[in-house]
Amino acid sequence: MSEADGPRDGPPDGAEREVVAIYCDGGARGNPGPAAIGAIVLDPSTTPPTRLATVSERIGSTTNNVAEYRALIAGLLAARPFPSRRVVVRADSMLVVKQVEGAWRVKQPHLRPLLDEARKLLRAYDEVDIGHVPRAQNADADALVNAALDAPEPVADLAPRGLRDRG
């Protein structure tokens, strides 16, 4: 690679890009159990891709499937400040990918509103490329999930209810 082929700057924030990429993951320890989401928004037009935004947060107690959908939605929301014509989404949840594509039907009624919200956010793009990747190719998003789950809980959340109410 010559120096001329080296990194190039993407558009300034707020300017439309050709494409943004989102890697997302959700997980629960137990099913249901304590859950968290992780998402990374990238500008793939730079070398290496520029990290535009990340999401890493606990979402309470829920199932793996809900966490996976919530991660996709959070990634799409995090990408909003970086408008683009195309979006590339990669997730290691085959269920979410296939349901968003319309290849699999939604059997669990509580997932329908999450699917609807994800599809609504995807309509902001002229082109959508959503695909499944093995967990190994989604390691950065998975690490964000585990970081959120492994982080110590805020002290107020650990205090017995009676102690929190005193004051």
Region of poorest pLDDT, from 10-19, 68-77, 116-125:
10-19
Q: What are the extents of the domains in the chain?
A: 23-147
pLDDT digits (tens, 9 = 90+) for 115-162: 999 999 999 999 999 999 999 999 999 999 999 999 987 655 554 554
The rounded mean pLDDT for the chain is: 88
∠ Cα 112 32 77 (to 5°): 50
How confident is the model at residue 3, as a pLDDT? 31
What share of the chain in percent tops pLDDT 90? 81
CB atoms near residue 19 (< 10 Å): 16
Convert the pLDDT of each residue in 42-66 to its tens digit. Answer: 999 999 999 999 999 999 999 999 9
**Domain 23-147, CATH:** 3.30.420.10
Q: How far apart are CA 122 and CA 125, in angstroms?
A: 6
